Structure 1
Amino acid sequence: MAGSRKTRRFFKRAKSSLRNFLRRPAVNGTVEFLLMLGILYFAFTGAMILIFRTDSFWRGVTSQSMKHEDDYSWRQYYLERGIDTSQFPIQGGFERGDLLIIQGVSSFSEIKVGDVVVLDQGSGVIPLVHRVVEIWYENGSPRFTTKGDANSRPLPVEVANRPEQILGKVIFVIPKLGYISLWFQGQ
C-alpha cells in the first residue's frame, strides 16, 4: 500500500513538472517545431512511396561497380554479344556517393536488358545495384543475370536472379548527393 502511494505521488510530481516544463515558450516552440518536422518527414516519405511504388525510392551508391572510366569499355561486354547499348538507361553510369532515384516495378515485364535494377540480396546485406545483361525462362519462371558496368563478368550471386528480388529500377542519378545518405548509414 505504501509503495503504491509513493508511486502515485511520484507520477503526480512528474506530470506536474512536465506540464510546467512544456509551458515555457522556448520549450513549447521547440517541441512544436520537432513535431511539425516529424509530420513533414513522414508525409514526404509516404508521398514518395506512393509516387515511386517502392519503399526504397532513393539509395546512396556504396561501390564503384557501375563507374565508367570511359564511354567505350563498359559497352564491350554487350557488343561482344551483339547487344546495342545506345538505348540503355543510365548511359553515364554512377559511382560511390551518387544518389539513385528508384522506381518500383509492378511486373517483371517492365524489366528489360540494359535496365539498372536494385536487388534484395537477403537480410543484413546491402542491396545490389547492377545492369540486367540477360533474361531467360527456366521451367516457365523468369530468371535474369546482372552485372556491374565496371566488372568484367557477373558475380556468382548475379547469375540466376528471380523477379521477387527486384526492389526497383534506377530512373535517375544525382551526382555526389548520396554521400549524405552514406554518412547517416555510417558508410
Structure 2
Amino acid sequence: MVGSRRLRRRVKQVQRHLKNFLRRPAVHETVEFLLMLGFLYFSFTGIMMVIFRTDSFWRGVTSQSMKHEDDYSWRQYFSDRGIDTSQFPLQGGFERGDLLIIQGVSSFSEIRVGDVVVLDQGGNTIPLVHRVVEIWYENGSPRFMTKGDANSRPLPAEVANRPEQVLGKVIFVVPKLGYISLWFQGQ
C-alpha cells in the first residue's frame, strides 16, 4: 500500500513537470516546426510519387557500372550489334554518388533498347540500374537484357529480365547529390 502511494505521487510529480515543460513557448515552436516539416516532407513525397508514377522516384548511385570514360567505349557494344546510340538517353552516364530521378512505366511497351532502367532483383538486394541492350519475346512473354555501360558484358542476373522487375526509367541525373542518400544508408 505504501509503495503504491509513492508510485502515484511520483507519477503525479512527473506529470506536473511534463506539463510545465510543454507549456514553454520554445517547446511549442519546436513541435510546430517539426509537425510542419513532417507535413511538407510527406506532401512533397506524395506529389512526387503521383507525378513520377513510382514510389521510388529518386535513388543514389551505389556503383561505377554506368560511369563513362572519356573515350565513349561503352558505345562499342552497341555498334558491334548494329545499333545506333545517338538517340539513347543519358549519353554521359553517371557514377557513384549521383542522384537519379526515376519515372515509373505503365507498361513494358514504354521500354526501348538504350533506356536506363531500375530493376528489382528480389529479396533485400539493391535495385540494379543499367541500360537495356536487348528485347525479345519468349513464349509470347517479353524478356530483356541489361548491362552497365562500364561493364564488358551483362551480369548473369541481367540476361533474362521480366517486365515486372522494372521499377522505372532513369530520366535525369543530378551529379554528386546522391551522396547524401548513400550517407543516410550507411554506404
TM category (shorter chain) comes to over 0.9
Distance 1:21 1:136, change over 3 A: same
Partner of residue 87, structure 2: 87
Deviations 1:27-83 (A, max 9, x none): 111111111111111111111111111111000101000000025301000000000
Residues 170-179 or 26-35, more deviating: 26-35
RMSD: 1.8
Report the CA distance between 1:19 and its aligned residue.
2.2
Partner of residue 127, structure 2: 127
Q: Structure 2: how far apart are the matches of 1:147 and 1:67?
A: 12
Partner of residue 112, structure 2: 112
Partner of residue 65, structure 1: 65
Q: Secondary structure at the match of 2:27?
A: helix
Q: What pairs up with 1:32-181 in 2 under 5 angstroms?
A: 32-181=32-181
Distance 1:73 1:7, change over 3 A: same
What amino acid does structure 2 have at the position aligned with 1:79? S
Q: What is the number of equivalent residue pairs in this alignment? A: 187
What amino acid does structure 2 have at the position aligned with 1:118? V
Q: Structure 2: how far apart are the matches of 1:166 and 1:6?
A: 61
Q: Structure 2: how far apart are the matches of 1:146 and 1:8?
A: 66
Q: Structure 2: how far apart are the matches of 1:4 and 1:50?
A: 55
Residues 78-87 or 24-33, more deviating: 24-33
Q: Structure 2: how far apart are the matches of 1:52 and 1:2?
A: 63
Q: Structure 1: how far apart are the matches of 2:4 and 2:136?
A: 69
Q: Secondary structure at the match of 1:26?
A: helix
Deviations 1:121-176 (A, max 9, x none): 11210100000000111111111000000001100000000111111000000111
Partner of residue 31, structure 1: 31
Task: List 4+ stretches of structure 1 deviating above 6 A.
Answer: 1-8
Distance 1:8 1:165, change over 3 A: farther
What amino acid does structure 1 have at the position aligned with 2:148? G
Q: Secondary structure at the match of 2:117?
A: strand
Distance 1:138 1:5, change over 3 A: farther
What amino acid does structure 1 have at the position aligned with 2:34? L
Distance 1:47 1:81, change over 3 A: same
Deviations 1:96-126 (A, max 9, x none): 0110000000111000100000001112101
